[in-house]
Chain A
Amino acid sequence: EIVLTQSPGTLSLSPGERATLSCRASQSVSSRYLAWYQQKPGQAPRLLIYGASSRATGIPDRFSGSGSGTDFTLTISRLEPEDFAVYYCQQYVSSPFTFGPGTKVDIK
């Protein structure tokens, strides 16, 4: 089973600031097999990024993903009030499909 580690656990930032979230895999997931999700309180997760860097339909371009192998990054270029949420990465190179523990982005 591939274990995903996310850092930091919590990121405290102000609106307008840049957010950089990290996801590290216990073994390579190539450059294609990683997704990012956003979850707000009381809501289901929403797909943001797939294939490590492709934005899902309707996702603003302030969200970008990068990385390959075992190290991946989700960047939010300028935080909007609606971006304060928990972010999860997920690998799909092999079953079982695993999620990271999440990074909470909260308002400083």
Chain B
Amino acid sequence: QLQLQESGPGLVKPSETLSLTCTVSGVSISSSFYYWGWIRQPPGKGLEWIGSMYYSGSSYYNPSLKSRVTISVDTSKSQFSLKLSFVTAADTALYYCARHIRYCSGGRCGDPPYYFDYWGQGTLVTVSS
């Protein structure tokens, strides 16, 4: 059974770096069929895609956050991580990790990836001094 579980500090000070980890179980994080993504949702608001990474390093980032975001994948731990630097109160949100499906046909997969088919429960990160 596929599970994604976010973990990390729930409180980060302004100007510091937000760090979250998503642990994946029930599927290989090294599968060619998936990217691994982060999406956030400010309280009471809509969804914003942050970025997605393939296990071998290929990545896509939201240009609005790209200068502050790093996503990495650790295949040995079946985890992928998000780092968001120089946070402000505007970065306060529920952060979700999700599996990002690639389109595959005839044994070959293409990019960019498509939709998010499995999500973690989300973790609330508050930016405050």
Contact = CB atoms under 8 A, between A and B. Distances in A.
Interface of A: 1, 33, 35, 37, 43-47, 50, 56, 88, 90, 92, 94-102
A33 B49 contact: no
A99 B46 contact: yes
For this complex, into which size category does the number of interface residues on chain B fall? 20 to 34
A44 B49 contact: no
A94 to B, nearest CB: 7
A92 B114 contact: yes
A98 B46 contact: no
A35 B121 CA distance: 20
A101 B46 contact: yes
A92 B46 contact: no
Task: Give 9 closest A-B pairs by Cβ, nearest first.
Answer: A44-B119, A35-B115, A99-B47, A96-B62, A97-B49, A95-B60, A92-B114, A50-B115, A101-B46
A50 B114 contact: yes
Contacts of A96: 49, 60-64
